[in-house]
């Protein structure tokens, strides 16, 4: 039997990600988000973007790159960033930081004086609400607020809802769980919701730490944890320099336990590993 001269095109097929295409994605992520994608991340990029490329009716990563770099790239670029940004987080991650906040910072707050904390890479909000629960244990409602920010609009939508699967509650201390979390019933069984009064003291905003910052005001404490591991040394210096003017004198700056500000800035003094203070 002779082969038919025409065949149906499989529009669902996406050509494999080439090395050259991956290099272009590396440059794009560094330019837009300050994120350095190591060569080992090539399978991750391919895995997370293939479905989206198919949804766009495209068949190659080069075609998708052209769309991301085109005139109307805004919305699609945000979709790509949402897919490529790693957002691993959980409640009360690195608990010694919350212990320090509770024992060493909050007791010095003056009654009635406003107190603000910025969770500068908040992901889906677990860190932000962990901070909020810690503050609510010591300070009166109305005297404090927490801003959570992230580059990804997808995770920010989750954070604003304050609604999580019940298995995410395992790291919340039981007294706080009973005071600030509402267990779902009926159609919401298997989930929990952060308390309304707690949510009223939190705000979530999209902020690109690698671009000029919006007018956010001043903060008593800034959490910038477990995000600089994705940045180059130069990007780390630029990001920290951008955030420091927003930290009050005497304010505290937290980074992740696997991170350090050595070689990044001399404007802060080290208090203990991963905790710094602005003179």
pLDDT per residue over 60-112, tens digit each?
999 999 999 876 677 899 889 888 886 679 999 999 999 999 999 999 998 77
232-253 average pLDDT score:
96
User: Please, what are the domains in the chain?
Assistant: 19-84 (1.10.155.10), 96-163+194-277 (3.40.50.150)
pLDDT per residue over 123-149, tens digit each?
999 999 999 999 999 999 999 999 999
Q: What is the pTM of this model?
A: 0.87
pLDDT per residue over 148-164, tens digit each?
999 999 899 999 999 99
Beta partners for residue 275, in sequence order = 254, 272
Please give, one letter per residue, the 3-state secondary structure of 53-110. HHHCCCCCHHHHHHHHCCCCCHHHHHHHHHHHCCCCCCCCCCCHHHHHHHHHHHHHCC
C-alpha span between 28 and 133 (Å, rounded): 37
Q: What pLDDT score was predicted for residue 10?
A: 47
Residue among 48, 52, 93, 160 flagged as catalytic: 48
The reply to whether 150 belongs to the active site is yes
Does the pLDDT value for residue 1 go beyond 60? no
Angle between helices 153-161 and 74-84 (to 10 degrees): 70
Q: What pLDDT score was predicted for residue 112?
A: 75
Q: What pLDDT score was predicted for residue 35?
A: 86
116 and 217 in contact (C-beta within 8 Å)?
yes
Please give, one letter per residue, the 3-state secondary structure of 234-245. HHHHHHHHHHHH
pLDDT per residue over 11-63, tens digit each?
458 899 999 999 999 999 998 888 888 899 999 899 999 999 999 999 999 99
- Long-range contacts for 188-191 (Cβ within 8 Å, ≥24 apart)? 190/165, 190/166, 191/163, 191/164, 191/165, 191/166
The reply to whether 157 belongs to the active site is no
C-alpha span between 1 and 99 (Å, rounded): 76
235-257 average pLDDT score:
97
Q: What pLDDT score was predicted for residue 7?
A: 46
Residue among 82, 116, 150, 220 flagged as catalytic: 150
**Lookup: tokens for 124:** 């889906």
C-alpha span between 3 and 144 (Å, rounded): 74
With bands split at pLDDT 50, 70 and 90, how would you rate the model's confidence at 274? very high
251 and 222 in contact (C-beta within 8 Å)?
yes
End-to-end CA distance of the chain: 84
């Amino acid at each position: 039997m002779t082969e038919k001269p025409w065949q149906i095109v499989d529009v669902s097929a996406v050509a494999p990600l080439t090395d050259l295409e991956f290099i272009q994605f590396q440059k794009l992520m560094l330019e837009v988000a300050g994120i350095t994608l190591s060569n080992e991340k090539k399978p991750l990029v391919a895995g997370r973007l293939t479905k989206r490329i198919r949804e766009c009716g495209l068949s190659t990563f080069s075609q998708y790159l052209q769309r991301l770099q085109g005139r109307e790239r805004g919305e699609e670029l945000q979709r790509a960033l949402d897919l490529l940004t790693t957002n691993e987080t959980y409640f009360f991650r690195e608990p010694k930081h919350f212990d320090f906040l509770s024992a060493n910072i909050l007791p010095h707050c003056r009654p009635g004086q406003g107190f603000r904390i910025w969770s500068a890479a908040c992901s889906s909000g677990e860190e932000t609400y962990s901070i909020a629960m810690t503050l609510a244990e010591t300070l009166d409602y109305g005297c404090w607020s927490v801003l959570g920010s992230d580059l990804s609009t997808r995770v920010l939508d989750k954070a604003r809802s304050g609604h999580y699967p019940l298995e995410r509650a395992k790291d919340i201390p039981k007294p706080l769980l009973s005071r600030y979390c509402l267990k779902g019933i009926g159609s919401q069984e298997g989930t929990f919701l952060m308390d309304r009064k707690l949510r009223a003291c939190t705000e979530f905003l999209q902020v690109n730490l690698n671009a000029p910052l919006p007018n956010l005001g001043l903060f008593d404490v800034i959490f910038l944890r477990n995000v600089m591991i994705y940045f180059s040394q130069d990007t780390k210096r630029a990001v920290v320099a951008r955030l420091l003017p927003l930290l009050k004198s005497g304010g505290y700056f937290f980074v992740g336990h696997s991170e350090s500000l050595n070689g990044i800035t001399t404007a802060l003094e080290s208090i203990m590993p991963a905790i710094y203070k602005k003179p």
